């Protein structure tokens, strides 16, 4: 039935927009992901086109002055004061039609939320979403419009509780700030520690404020974290929080900059890390909005997204799970040997240090956050 068929948000119009060639953020990752899925059989999902977010929707989070500034610079009018809003930098460069791209990508996430609210699907993936660094009045980390916040607000407007889970290697600081005192959106971020990676925050001590205290959780991952350490920590933190939160929807960001091959980060995971924990979310049968996010090795990012989406949709075959040799790229988006990477693990003293740091983080959350929600330590 169409109402249960997963939805992939995509429009060829998105292919027309590109960050400067020198920028590591590549918008064509969505097209590559689509190509891989099509080459492996796409009967398990249907496509829906995004629509541009409206001014009213954008102003659910962003200020009018900021949006007008983005429109102006998108037309080529960059002023010195704009640097104070984070634009015109290496992280947030100015390029033609910047505003049109950002609004269409954000509209894709809002459209996904609408489909979920209408009951037209239970799974919706916008690979062109996940811009979690943008704040209400400034840009950051390749992000201009925070579609994560806008989608969560769309769900909240309908009276729903949302569990916003961010697995990108970079801390979702813009999303955290938007809901730091709001218990209706439970934000959880797994990311490389701010000691070694932008945006240099997201410690386990940041647990929310006022009515939102205990509804913001950070799990900083030490540099070198591998699949095994990630899975063990995820299992210790996420299931009990989901049980306590009892959300109506999950919003999930699956940035593939967690991969060992990513040029901008320092983690040591393979795409198995995300794929292996997806059943813990999938099997709860909650409506889920999935977003892309970071990932600066385009081929590896597209493969990781395609794999995670297959697992979430229950479409990964038994042969995909048992080949175990790692996917081999043949060209034209085709892969041999399945989509899963060869597994690798940290060893020796590095492994012991990573495990100790993550145990301390989990212990801290069990002490400071779990009791707020009645979770036994």
φ, ψ of residue 199 in degrees (nearest 5): -95, 30
CB 142 within 8 A of CB 170: no
Determine the average pLDDT of the residues in 321-337. 50
More confident residue, 326 or 179: 179
The rounded distance, in Å, linking the Cα atoms of 32 and 72 is: 31
Q: Is 107 left (phi over 0), alpha (psi -120 to 50) or beta?
A: alpha
Determine the average pLDDT of the residues in 83-102. 94
The rounded distance, in Å, linking the Cα atoms of 199 and 135 is: 13
Helices then strands, each counted (H, E), the chain: 11, 10
Dihedral sign (CA 108, 111, 112, 113) = positive
Poorest-confidence range of 36-45, 85-94, 323-332, 348-357?
323-332
The rounded distance, in Å, linking the Cα atoms of 352 and 359 is: 11
Residue 326 has a pLDDT of 57
Select which of 18, 62, 132, 133 is catalytic. 133
Q: Using 50, 70 and 90 to split pLDDT, how confident is the model at 41?
A: confident
Poorest-confidence range of 25-34, 37-46, 247-256, 352-361?
37-46
Residue 337 has a pLDDT of 59
Supply 357's token pair.
């740091």
- When divided into structural domains, the chain yields a total of 1
Query: Domain span at residue 202?
Result: 2-373
Q: Using 50, 70 and 90 to split pLDDT, how confident is the model at 358?
A: very high
**With 80 as the cut, is the pLDDT of residue 324 above it?**
no
Q: What percent of the chain has pLDDT over 70?
A: 93
Residue 332 has a pLDDT of 47
Supply 97's token pair.
């039609």
Poorest-confidence range of 36-50, 160-174, 322-336?
322-336
44 CB-near residues (< 8 Å, 6+ apart): 5, 6, 310, 313, 315
- Domain at 72, CATH number: 3.40.800.20
**With 90 as the cut, is the pLDDT of residue 171 above it?**
yes
Q: What percent of the chain has pLDDT over 90?
A: 88
What digits encode the pLDDT tens for the residues 214-224? 999 999 999 99
**With 80 as the cut, is the pLDDT of residue 189 above it?**
yes
Residue 133 bears catalytic tag: yes
What digits encode the pLDDT tens for the residues 302-323? 999 999 999 999 998 765 554 4
54 CB-near residues (< 8 Å, 6+ apart): none
More confident residue, 336 or 16: 16
Run of H or E including 155: helix 147-157
More confident residue, 3 or 169: 169
pTM: 0.95
Determine the average pLDDT of the residues in 139-154. 98
More confident residue, 42 or 179: 179
The rounded distance, in Å, linking the Cα atoms of 358 and 229 is: 8
Tokens 């999935």 -> residue: 290
Determine the average pLDDT of the residues in 169-195. 98
């Amino acid at each position: 039935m169409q109402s249960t068929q997963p939805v992939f948000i995509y429009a060829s119009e998105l292919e027309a927009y590109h960050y400067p060639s020198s920028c590591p953020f590549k918008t064509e990752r969505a097209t590559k992901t689509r190509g891989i899925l099509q080459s492996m059989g796409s009967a398990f999902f249907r496509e829906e086109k995004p629509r541009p977010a409206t001014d009213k929707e954008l102003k659910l989070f962003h200020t009018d002055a900021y949006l007008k500034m983005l429109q102006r610079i998108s037309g080529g009018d960059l002023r010195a004061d704009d640097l104070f809003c984070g634009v015109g930098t290496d992280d947030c460069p100015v390029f033609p039609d910047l505003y049109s791209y950002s609004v269409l990508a954000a509209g894709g996430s809002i459209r996904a939320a609408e489909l979920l609210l209408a009951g037209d699907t239970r799974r919706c993936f916008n690979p062109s979403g996940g811009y979690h660094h943008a704040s209400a009045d400034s840009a950051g980390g390749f992000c201009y419009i925070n579609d994560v916040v806008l989608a969560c607000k769309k769900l909240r407007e309908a009276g729903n509780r949302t569990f916003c889970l961010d697995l990108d290697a970079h801390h979702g600081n813009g999303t955290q700030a938007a809901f730091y005192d709001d218990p209706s959106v439970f934000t959880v971020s797994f990311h490389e520690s701010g000691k070694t990676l932008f945006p240099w925050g997201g410690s386990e001590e940041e647990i929310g404020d006022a009515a939102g205290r205990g509804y913001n959780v950070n799990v900083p991952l030490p540099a070198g974290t591998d699949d095994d350490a990630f899975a063990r920590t995820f299992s210790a933190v996420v299931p009990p929080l989901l049980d306590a939160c009892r959300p109506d929807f999950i919003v999930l960001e699956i940035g593939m900059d967690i991969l060992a091959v990513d040029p901008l980060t320092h983690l040591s995971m393979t795409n198995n890390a995300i794929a292996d924990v997806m059943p813990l979310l999938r099997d709860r049968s909650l409506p889920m909005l999935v977003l892309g996010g970071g990932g600066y090795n385009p081929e590896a990012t597209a493969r990781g997204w395609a794999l995670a989406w297959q697992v979430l949709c229950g479409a990964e075959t038994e042969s995909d799970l048992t080949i175990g040799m790692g996917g081999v790229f043949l060209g034209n988006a085709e892969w041999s040997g399945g989509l899963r990477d060869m597994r690798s693990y940290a060893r020796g003293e590095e492994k012991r240090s990573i495990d100790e740091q993550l145990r301390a983080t989990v212990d801290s959350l069990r002490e400071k956050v779990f009791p707020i929600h009645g979770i036994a330590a």
